[in-house]
Amino acid sequence: MNPIPPLLLLVGLPRQTATAITAELAATAEVVRCTAADVPAHTGGTPGQRRPTVVVLGETVTAPVGLVHSLRPHPADLAVIVTVTPVTQDRLAVVPLLFSDGVVRRVEGGEAALRMPRVAGELMQQLTRRRAHAATQATAQQRLRTGASIDRQLGERLLGQFLTQAPIGVLMLDGDAVIAWNRRAADILELTEPESLHRPVSDLFPEDQRSALHHHLTAPGQHRNAEPDTFFERVRGDGTSQALRMAAREVLDTEGRSRTLVLTEDVTDRLHAQRKLAERTSHALLTAEVAAAMTAPGPLHERLRRCVRAATDRLSADRVCIWTLSARGELVHAVCAQDDASPDASSCRTTQRTLVEHVVTARRPYLDVPSRTGPRLPYGPDGSGSFAGFPLVSGGELLGVLALTTSLAVPGSVLSTLENIADQVAVGTQQDRLLNRLREATRALERPLLPPHLPDLPGFDLAARYAPFSQGLHIGGDFYDAFTSPDGHHVLVLGDVCGKGPDAAAITGLVRHTLWTAAQHTSDPAHVLTLVNSALRRQNTPFCTLVYVVVDTTLAPARLRIANAGHPAPLLRRADGDTRPLETRGSLLGVLDTPRHPVTEVELRPGDSLVLYTDGFTEGAGATDQRDPEDLAVITASLSPAGTARPAENIATALLDDAYRWWGERLRDDLAVLTLTALPASAPAPGPGPQ
Confidence grade of residue 351 (pLDDT, cut at 50, 70, 90)? confident
Whole-number average pLDDT of the chain: 83
| Alpha helices in 390-447, H assignment, sequence order | 412-446
Is a pLDDT exceeding 50 seen at residue 380? no
Please report the sign of the dihedral spanned by the C-alpha atoms of residue 156, residue 158, residue 162, residue 168. Answer: positive
Domains along the chain with CATH numbers: 7-134 (3.40.50.2300), 150-266 (3.30.450.20), 280-443 (3.30.450.40), 450-678 (3.60.40.10)
Sheet containing strand 319-325, strands side by side: 331-336, 319-325, 397-406, 386-394, 366-368
| Winning range, highest mean pLDDT, from 108-117, 317-326, 520-529 | 520-529
Residue 111 CA to residue 92 CA, distance in Å, equals 16
CB 261 within 8 A of CB 174: no
Weakest mean pLDDT among 2-11, 118-127, 215-224, 526-535? 215-224
Q: Which amino acid is at 141?
A: Q
Is the per-residue pLDDT at 72 higher than 50? yes
Could you tell me which of 269, 280, 235, 271 has the C-alpha nearest to residue 81?
269
Phi, psi values for residue 251, rounded to 5°:
-135, 175
Mean pLDDT of 323-352: 72
Mean per-residue pLDDT for 442-461? 77
Least confident of 5-14, 21-30, 409-418: 409-418
CA dist list (Å): 159 to 164, 202, 253: 6, 21, 10
Task: Indicate whether 373 pLDDT > 50.
Answer: no
User: Mean pLDDT across the stretch 166-193?
Assistant: 86
pLDDT at 157 over 50: no
Percent of the chain having pLDDT more than 90? 29
